[in-house]
Amino acid sequence: MKKLAGLACLLALIAHAVESTASGDAFVTLDSLQLGRGDLTLTVDPAVGGRIASLRFQGQEVLFSQGHAQKSNNWGSTFWLSPQSLWGWPPIEAHDSNPYQVLSFEEDSVVLQSAPSAEASITKRVSLSQDREVQLDYEILATHDFTEVAPWEVTRVPMAGLVFYPITEDSVEVVMGRVQYSVDANDLVWLDLDANPAPPEGKVNANGREGWLAWVLDRRLYLKVFEPVPRHLQAQGEGDVEIYLSGVAPYMELEVQGAAQVLKAGEALSWQVLWRVTELPAELDVAVGSRALADFVRRQLPASRRLALGLNL
């Protein structure tokens, strides 16, 4: 029944003409696909890089959406190859902004695939779990030998609120412009965008210690969870946690990366990121350096991750 319902939705959402892949095979693309569970609604746009175009929690938009971006291409959540030295700038269009083929669509998941470009194609599976967790499974399929490649998720959100994440000692590096941040005694990085509105363009990279990145705005937590990357396995010139602040538009990028590896033609690299959005308890202290806030975030991690980290919260 679920597959039939998904097929009905898929047929109902067909919005424009047949596109062509690089091989000349035809496929149908769609304007948008929506997944929802409880007070969480997610919209995927196959026509624009298979991006997550919208993430709404209790009716409020979490992401910096296309409507906010106006004519800019910098909106929603996208996926790139790392390190950036593989492609420079702008991003690879086939991976970032060109249409993706919809391979399957059900009530709680969608699978999309890019055309091959820059010696790789990208497959994305976006799904919602029973407890309203967003699971993103990415695959890089190499059509050429890579001496180094890593997965890279780039999510744009409004430039406001509080960003924080744990790091390995002395791994923070400002790689572009200027970024105001602090590191507390527990090796957590804190960026307070409300105390520093409209900052100049800048970017800060680091090696994350526990595999999570948190952002709080209006007492709403948005959390990314990913596999921690040993520092020596980061892609060259990159971090597994990166924060970019736009000096032009009111958005920032919450970026996470997986471990870099050698990838031969025909081989695939798989990687998973989990998102969780939840309200904060009314009594919880939301401030730079708040131990209670950091511990609340750690309690949102999957049980297997808490066990692996030795967290007893």
Please write the tens of the pLDDT for every residue from 161-197: 999 999 999 999 999 999 999 999 999 999 999 999 8
> How buried is 107 (Cβ within 10 angstroms: 0-12 exposed, 13-18 middle, 19+ buried)?
middle
More confident residue, 5 or 59: 59
- 13 φ/ψ sector (left φ>0, alpha ψ -120 to 50, else beta): alpha
Residue 56 belongs to what domain range?
2-309
Rounded to 5°, angle at Cα 11 from 7 and 14: 140
User: Within 13 Å of residue 291, how many CA atoms lie on the same side as its CB?
Assistant: 3
Note the pLDDT tens digit of each residue in 111-159: 999 999 999 999 999 999 988 899 999 999 999 999 999 999 999 999 9
Residue 65 predicted with pLDDT over 70: yes
What is the average pLDDT value for the chain, to the nearest integer?
Answer: 91
> How high is the pLDDT of residue 27?
45
Global pTM?
0.91
* pLDDT above 50 (res 14): no
CB atoms within 10 A of CB 38: 11
pLDDT at site 313:
75
pLDDT digits (tens, 9 = 90+) for 73-93: 999 999 999 999 999 999 999
pLDDT of residue 30: 64
Residue 23 has pLDDT above 50, yes or no: no
Rounded Cα distance, 186 and 201, in Å: 27
More reliable by pLDDT, 268 or 312: 268
Lookup: tokens for 7: 């097929």
Q: How many domains does the chain have?
A: 1
Q: Which residues contact 140 (CB under 8 A, 6 or more apart)?
A: 81, 120, 121, 122, 149, 151, 263, 268, 269, 271
Interval 29-35 mean pLDDT: 82
Average pLDDT over residues 2-8: 45
Examine the pLDDT at 94 and tell me if it is beyond 90. Answer: yes
Q: Which tokens go with 133?
A: 């967790």
Task: For residue 154, give the CATH number of its domain.
Answer: 2.70.98.10
pLDDT mean over 253-263:
98
pLDDT for residue 214 is more than 90: yes
